[in-house]
Amino acid sequence: FAESAAVLAAEGLDLGLALSLVDHVMLCAYPLKKFGSQALKERFLPRLCRGGLVGAAAISEPATGGNPSRMRTTAQRKDGGYVLKGEKGPVTNAPVADVFLVIASTDLQAGKEGLSAFLVEKEEEVTVDRIELDFLPTSPHGIVSFENIWVPPDHMVGEEGWGHERISRSVFLWERAVIIPVVLSLMERWHHLVVSGYNPTDIPPDTRVLLAQRKVELTAYNVLARHLLKLTFDSLEAGR
């Protein structure tokens, strides 16, 4: 998957679209596959994989960023399920998302150990304020507000208290491991376009040295990126 996303970024010269694809897969579909119940997986994974649904991860918050100890979105038990209340953002894919992987506190007193994860469908009560990012025009972002959204108990991903250590930490590691080769691929493509625009005989010696250094650096970074992917997805420590 990482190689496919890297090709998309490089050949399309479009980091935004690749970022949205990576977050759809690595921050929503993949954690659902790893931690979700069989019923949740059967209901949502096929459509997420086909592109029938767009996924997003609502983890960071406008006032506190991704700091788990300061997260204020809550999921309180009520009527056999949970009532979700809070604001998340900026969230990649938010304006076009059909489902959100939401990290919320089921126990504020427990701090980050009281965070849990839920798969929440887009409803009328879920509002999204779009954010325009000029440097990523093809990756829609937004602030998502959950105003007393009732979530069925079977929409919890994993168990209560898994939100930080088991799920949130994992998805950020997965996203970073995949996005690094994507960015490197785009940088290599731009390097190639710059170099190919020169007549070799017209390149000053000092510029040749600089271009060669950049190519060596990119090659080394790619080796490290492949190693990080292997550590992240093949080892018990999940790349930590």
Q: How far apart are CA 189 and CA 211, in angstroms?
A: 13
Is 175 tagged catalytic? yes
Longest CA span, the chain:
76
Q: Which residues pair with 156 in a beta bridge?
A: 118
Read off the amino acid at residue 233.
Answer: F
- Count of CB atoms within 10 A of residue 71's CB? 27
Cβ contacts of 220 within 8 Å, gap of 6 or more: none
Choose, from 61, 147, 175, 237, the residue flagged as catalytic. Answer: 175
Closest CA to 30 of 170, 155, 164: 170
Mention every residue, 6+ apart, whose C-beta is less than 8 A from residue 97.
Answer: 54, 55, 56, 91, 122, 128
Measured CA angle at 19 (ends 113, 230), to 5 deg: 70
CA–centroid distance for 96 within its chain: 15
Active site residues: 175
